[in-house]
Chains A and B, each alone.
Chain A
Amino acid sequence: MTARRDSAVDLPHYDASAIEQQVVPALQEAFPDDIEDVRAMPVDETVVMVSVAGLREIVGHLVEVLNVPHLSTITGQEVDGGVDLLYHFWHGSGLTLRVLLPLDALEIATVTDIIPGAAFYEREIVEMLGVTFVGHQDPLRLFLPDDWDGPPPLRKERS
């Protein structure tokens, strides 16, 4: 049962070496000002540090031009100096786009219009870390109770 129809849809072809050899160099060439750093992370992951302003455009380029459509998830975490967002893509190996939001401006453009599958991941970060995704169509509660009025639970406690 491995027959595949030649459909009009441009289905991605996953390749373990594509991220490192083709995708990252292509991104560096297209966005020289927005890509700040590239390094490796175990296991099979390449991490690309990008600017807050450039993220949306880079994701759009990744999905629409380079045909890397699979966003595994978005990790959010509070670190020294802000909230760190990691957009984990997968295309045979991992590609993580990393942005650092400063604590006094926890705002970033949504990617849900480019990747509808990101909607739940963004909603979870809204609830758990108090980040605002500008342009998200449906930022309702997904996990926390309706009557939860405490601070976002994954933020560090401050006295």
Chain B
Amino acid sequence: MRRITIPIGPQHPLLKEPVSFLLDVEGEQVLDSVLRLGYVHRGIERLAQERSYVQIVHLVERVCGICSHVHTTTYCKAVESLMGLEVPERGVYLRALLCELERIHSHMLWLGVLAMNMGFDTVFMYAWRDREIVLDMMEDLSGGRVSHAVNIIGGVRIDLDEEQRKDMLARLAQLEQQVHRAKDVVEHERSLRARTEGIGILTPEQAKQYCVVGPVARASGLDMDLRRDMPHLPYSELDFEVITHDAGDVWARTLVRVLETVESVRLCRQILENLPDGPVSVRAKRRAPEGEAVTRTEAPRGEVIYYVRGDGSESPARLKIRTPTLTTLITLPEQLRNVAVADVSVVLSGVDLCIACADR
């Protein structure tokens, strides 16, 4: 059979963000693929060199439209360690609360996208309906559904009163019910399993070689989670399980993410129940001294790493960002090899791509 090359993208038929794939196919089989990024490259790293430390908080919030809070958290942690600031415990807990709410939001959004791309609209609608609970919680907490602008250098700008705290606990209970329902669907629904099992396989060896992170790595048997492995507050005081699976296919990724959502609900509850008293932030200086720092955070898609170098002025000399999607994108040619053309959409959804993050 003749081998032909099909270009998909950059205006993508199934992703909302621009990325280009060249699929080399023979009949219904994908033999190879080449990908090209950069269609939403905004030059954020270069821009940061021209902005002040305070302005950059808002800049990095726009790296990602889903896990915006994780980016500001990672950035603020780096700058705080340069400036020698210690964030009060209550501030640290509130940061983590939003990180976990964001993880729930991200995983439920993703479940909807996966379901929609495999033609399972019922799950898509349920997942996105239930995601509204967590979006409402984040809106009440911060005023924004996706861009929260909660982090400031030195802590957070929000606080909870007792009534809000109780209200959030009640809504978490409602959310937990819905998450368990999604988990049942993923575990038992035959059509979902038929579309996802044995597809887009990444073996543990490949996951290790490609330095994959997050749920994709955990679904391929790599037992890594920065919340547990780099024990900082508040995670060092909280009880949660790191979910791993060894199948390495799209179904394993689905299961890992859904079970992680259950764990995140548990984490939110523990944070709300053990919220320390006190201030939520400390005052920060405008300038950071000469020095450098590296921070890593477990985002919904895995390890985010920031490198910041200060030169004593009001702007950093270098800000480097690596988002988790960049580590999973590179594995796509492996995952797409010998997959049927009809399953390409499932494989692409399965890794949870965030192209704008990868481009920066």
Q: Which positions in A face B, CB cutoff 8 Å?
A: 1-5, 7, 9, 11-14, 16, 41-45, 69-73, 75, 77, 86, 88, 90, 92-94, 96, 115-121, 141-145, 153-154
Contacts and interface: CB of A to CB of B under 8 A. Distances in A.
Contacts, number: 126
B88 to A, nearest CB: 17
Contacts of B209: 69, 115-117
Given A1-B255, A4-B223, A115-B211, A145 B326 contact: no
Contacts of A43: 77-78, 81, 293-295
Given A2-B244, A11-B204, 17 more contacts: A1-B256, A9-B205, A9-B208, A12-B208, A16-B231, A42-B81, A69-B209, A70-B208, A70-B224, A72-B211, A72-B296, A73-B305, A73-B326, A77-B317, A90-B296, A96-B294, A154-B46
A142 B305 contact: no
B32 interface: no
B342 interface: no
B160 interface: no
Pairs A-B, 4 closest by C-beta atoms: A117-B211, A73-B322, A42-B81, A117-B210
Contacts of B307: 75, 86, 88
Nearest to A86: B307
B99 interface: no
25 contacts: A1-B245, A4-B246, A11-B221, A14-B223, A14-B229, A41-B292, A41-B293, A42-B81, A43-B77, A43-B295, A69-B211, A70-B208, A73-B326, A75-B307, A88-B305, A94-B294, A117-B209, A117-B330, A119-B330, A120-B330, A121-B322, A141-B36, A141-B38, A143-B41, A153-B43
Nearest to B82: A42
B45 A92 contact: no
Interface in B204-230: 204-205, 208-212, 221-224, 229-230
Contacts of A119: 330
A75 B309 CA distance: 11
B195 interface: no
B197 interface: no
B329 interface: yes
Nearest to A116: B209
Contacts of A94: 294, 296
B359 interface: yes
B318 interface: yes
A interface, over-half SS: loop
A92 B227 CA distance: 10
Nearest to B209: A116
A134 B218 CA distance: 33
A96 to B, nearest CB: 7
A112 to B, nearest CB: 10
A11 B224 CA distance: 11
Given A11-B208, A96-B294, A153-B43, A16 B244 contact: no
A116 B46 CA distance: 27
Contacts of B78: 43
A19 to B, nearest CB: 11
Contact of B221 (A4, A42, A115, A118): A4
B259 interface: yes
Contacts of B326: 73, 120-121
A110 to B, nearest CB: 15
A4 B211 contact: no
B359 A143 contact: yes
A13 B222 CA distance: 9
Interface in B275-317: 291-296, 303, 305, 307, 309, 317
A158 to B, nearest CB: 16
Contacts of B37: 142-143
Contacts of B293: 41-43, 45
Nearest to A114: B209
Contacts of A115: 209, 211
B205 A117 contact: no
B250 to A, nearest CB: 16
A7 B204 contact: yes
A31 B43 CA distance: 38
A89 to B, nearest CB: 9
A3 B244 CA distance: 8
